[in-house]
Amino acid sequence: MAVTAAYLVTVVSFPKHDIAGLTPLLLYPVLLIAAGRIPLKVIARYLLLAAPFALMVGVFNPLLDRAVALRLGSVAISGGWLSFISIIIRFVLTASAALILLAGTGFGPLCYALGRLGMPRLLVTQFLLLYRFIFIIAEEGVRMTRAWMLRSRRAGNMPLRVWGSLAGHLLLRAYDRGERVHAAMRARGFDGTLRPLLPPRWRWFDAAFVFISVGYFVFARLAHPAEVLGRLTLAVLQ
């Protein structure tokens, strides 16, 4: 989590037109996806879901900033386009880093880690229970919708009045279930704290991961490796 935070800070700390500087940071998500054997499809699907927000943020930049900032041969690229592309790259890097953290760590350990970092324990418990019961509540919602569809003569969308009543019933059912779950928890000695079965231990591997990753981020931020590599390649070619 700390490494991801360091990564996010590094990504957003680059100047708005610096696209080349961001490219070396692509190595981090690529390596983690490979090491964690995380299906690329999953990451891509969620990135697409969130993409409209990033597009909305950057879409007017090319119109607002038309000053030429870069020439690639005869093609002039305005500052607006550069910052737009930079926003999209930053979005891909930061969002994928967060998704990788979630996919690689798992929701449970992540919540426990948030608790260790000082998140109120009530919130941690709520997150964990939400993750467990959201599927069951959603299933109940689907069953209620199906029951409405089977008895409704009209095709198409649910009228607002029915929707309101259905949502209200779902809330009451969720509340009832919450009471039952709480009774089951209290029956087994719950005192307000969810205790992990295997509290995470700090291993030398974790220390090495933090050290190497953060070291690389600092190097990528300060030394501009893409530029250095480009100059080196040119020098070799000449």
Partner 1 sequence: MSHHLVEVTGLEYTYPDGTRALQGVSFRIEHGGAVGIVGANGAGKSTLLMQFNGCLLPTAGTVRVGDVPVTRQTLPEVRRSVGMIFQDPNDQLFMPTVQEDVAFGPLNQHLPPGDVEQRVEQALAAVNARHLRARPPWQLSGGEKRLAAIASVLAMAPDVLVMDEPSAGLDPQARRRLIELLRGFAHTKIIAAHDLDMIFDLCPRTILLHEGRIAADGLTAAVLTDRDLLVRSGLELPLRLQACPVCVSR
> Contact at 8 Å (CB) between 92 and 47?
yes
Whose Cβ is closer to partner 1: residue 146's or residue 186's? 186
Q: Return contacts of 173-182, CB within 8 angstroms, 24+ apart.
A: 173/137, 173/140, 174/133, 174/137, 174/140, 177/133, 177/136, 177/137, 181/129, 181/133
Find the binder of partner 1 among 153, 161, 195, 203 (CB under 8 A): 195
Whose Cβ is closer to partner 1: residue 139's or residue 206's? 139
Q: What is the C-alpha separation between 175 and 183, in angstroms, rounded? A: 12
Which residues on adjacent β-strands are paired with residue 237?
none
Residue numbers 77-106 binding partner 1 by CB under 8 A: 106
121 binds partner 1 (CB under 8 A): no
Taking CB under 8 A as the binding criterion, the range among 60-68, 96-104, 183-191, 230-238 that sits at the site for partner 1 is: 183-191
187 binds partner 1 (CB under 8 A): yes
75 binds partner 1 (CB under 8 A): no
Find the binder of partner 1 among 48, 150, 160, 197 (CB under 8 A): 197
174 binds partner 1 (CB under 8 A): no
Q: What is the DSSP secondary structure assignment for residue 59, as one 8-state letter?
A: T
Give the shortest CB-188-to-partner 1 separation in angstroms.
4
Name which of 62, 29, 65, 59 is nearest 47 in CA terms.
Answer: 29
Find the binder of partner 1 among 51, 108, 210, 227 (CB under 8 A): 108
Whose Cβ is closer to partner 1: residue 88's or residue 102's? 102
Whose Cβ is closer to partner 1: residue 130's or residue 149's? 130
208 binds partner 1 (CB under 8 A): no
133 binds partner 1 (CB under 8 A): yes
H runs (alpha helix) in 73-159: 79-105, 107-116, 121-151
Q: What is the C-alpha separation between 216 and 214, in angstroms, rounded? A: 5
Find the binder of partner 1 among 173, 177, 221, 224 (CB under 8 A): 177
- Token pair in block for residue 227: 């530029």
- Token pair in block for residue 231: 């100059």
Q: How far is CA 238 from CA 72, 226, 232, 233, in A?
A: 20, 18, 10, 9
205 binds partner 1 (CB under 8 A): no
132 binds partner 1 (CB under 8 A): yes
| Residues contributing to the site for partner 1 (CB under 8 A) | 106-108, 128-129, 131-133, 135-136, 177, 180-181, 183-191, 194-197
